[in-house]
Amino acid sequence: MSLPSVLFVCGRNAIRSPMGEALWRLRFGSDVIARSCGVIPAAFVDPFMVSVMLEKKVDLEDFSPIALNGVGEPPADLIVSLSTAADRMAKEYAARTGAEFQAWPIPDPSETGGNRDMKVAAYRETRDAIAARIAQWQPTSKSA
């Protein structure tokens, strides 16, 4: 089975979509084509995201958020939206490029209140939820 190239999309490309990109590579190997972007990219990557990804030996400290319209070529085979706010634009992009679209709604951990430990726990839950979705992923006739 050949793995599809994948593009993970979220609102800001600072938490969920970079996690998705990195976790896809962690699961399937560094040779797979995995990218990420945001509808409106953040100026910098979220430090809590960097911290919880380092727990999995993935260093995203130098990651730079990019916009959906800055993804470039080649288009991905599979577009995964991790945010309901990104669904419409990600779906339109998939339709324009002929890619398969999947929505994996994952809550934004940056919206979690409380102390630092509570925030870190929310980021871990997000990371683990994305990893679980990737582990359960099965190719469809379009993505295979």
Residue 142 lies in a domain: no
Residue 109 lies in a domain: yes
DSSP helix/strand/coil, 133: helix
Residue 81 lies in a domain: yes
What are 100's two structure tokens? 């398969």
Residue 141 lies in a domain: no
CA-wise closest residue to 16 among 139, 114, 143, 125: 125
Residue 143 lies in a domain: no
DSSP-derived letter for residue 7 is E
Rounded to two decimals, what is the model's pTM? 0.94
Domain count, the chain: 1
The CATH number of the domain holding residue 15 is: 3.40.50.2300
Residue 64 lies in a domain: yes
Q: For residue range 19-54, list pLDDT tens digits in order.
A: 999 999 999 998 899 999 999 999 999 999 999 999
Residue 27 lies in a domain: yes
Q: For residue range 49-85, list pLDDT tens digits in order.
A: 999 999 999 999 999 999 998 888 778 999 999 999 9
Residue 95 lies in a domain: yes
Q: What residues contact residue 35 under an 8 Å CB cut-off, 6+ apart?
A: 5, 6, 7, 8, 21, 71, 76
CB 70 within 8 A of CB 94: no
Q: Which domain holds residue 24?
A: 6-136
Q: Which residue has the tokens 């084509």?
A: 33
